[in-house]
Amino acid sequence: MIREDQKVLVVIPAYNEQGRIAEIVRAVKRVLPAAKTLVVNDCSSDDTGSESAAAGANVVTHFINLGYGAALETGYLYALQHGYEFIVQMDGDGQHLPDEAPQILAPVLDGGADIVIGSRYLSSKNNYKTSFVRKVGQKFFRMILSVFTGYKITDPTSGFQCLNRKAFELFSRGQFPHDFPDADVLLMAHYAGFRVKEVPVVMLERSGGVSMHTGLKPLYYVIKMILSIVMVILSQRRWKQYVP
């Protein structure tokens, strides 16, 4: 599926994913043998980094914990420095299945989209359970995206995505959110003129590790995301200058 002239990098942000990450790396290598894999170890206190390397991934390690978005941006910068054209990004906790990666990669490789989002809500095979609070938040941000972009995005919080070089180059310019890159980033992409598409994927529920949505984090997430979206809307001229 991946041509010899198409350089694809699979970016996996990981924080304390010992016992899970090695199998994910091996599965990615099995499903996408022509792609390279990069694990961005966000200052894990366990053996995430060494397990990733032993499984065959390249590993970049943060010496302080910078957050999920910062780990993604590190992956984008790595891809730019090493000449990659496409990125598949997926979580290291087992929710995103490597077997689903070709589905989100294909529309970008074919030139039909700049960003593809894997949606757990478009697949009839999913039994994914979402908390009531998170469902309300997702519906709220779906509505905002629909109003300002016309997109009908069903899963704006999905981190299972594929991006072409134009997209991840834009996101590596220093304005990418360091913690929760979700609806605000999709709004940036819209103002920058990128074509965004969703495809159905199967996801699993998180089986362990440290979730980004525990304790008071959901409240922080909602407040921060609203403020971030407002700032993107107010500065939309900045993003429009990057229209491809």
Query: Mean pLDDT per segment of 10 residues, for the chain of length 244 residues?
Result: 87 96 98 97 97 98 95 97 97 94 96 95 75 73 88 90 95 85 90 94 72 62 88 82 62
Asked if residue 3 is part of any domain, the answer here is no
Asked if residue 2 is part of any domain, the answer here is no
pLDDT for residue 62: 97
Asked if residue 1 is part of any domain, the answer here is no
Asked if residue 186 is part of any domain, the answer here is yes
Do the strands 161-164 and 36-42 form a parallel or antiparallel pair, or are they unpaired? unpaired
Asked if residue 181 is part of any domain, the answer here is yes
Dihedral sign for Cα 87, 90, 92, 94, please. negative
- SS3 at position 163: strand
CA 134 from chain center: how many Å?
Answer: 18
Do the strands 86-89 and 36-42 form a parallel or antiparallel pair, or are they unpaired? unpaired
Asked if residue 160 is part of any domain, the answer here is yes
Q: How many structural domains does the chain have?
A: 1
pLDDT for residue 175: 80
Query: CB under 8 Å, gap of 24 or more: what pairs does 235-243 form?
Result: 236/191, 239/170, 239/188, 239/191, 239/192, 240/191, 240/192, 240/193, 242/170, 242/192, 242/193, 243/192, 243/193
pLDDT for residue 215: 54
pTM for this model (two decimals): 0.90
Asked if residue 125 is part of any domain, the answer here is yes
CATH code of the domain containing 132: 3.90.550.10
pLDDT for residue 131: 64
pLDDT for residue 211: 52
| Residue type present at position 117 | I
pLDDT for residue 224: 87
pLDDT for residue 207: 59
- Structural domain that includes position 15: 8-240
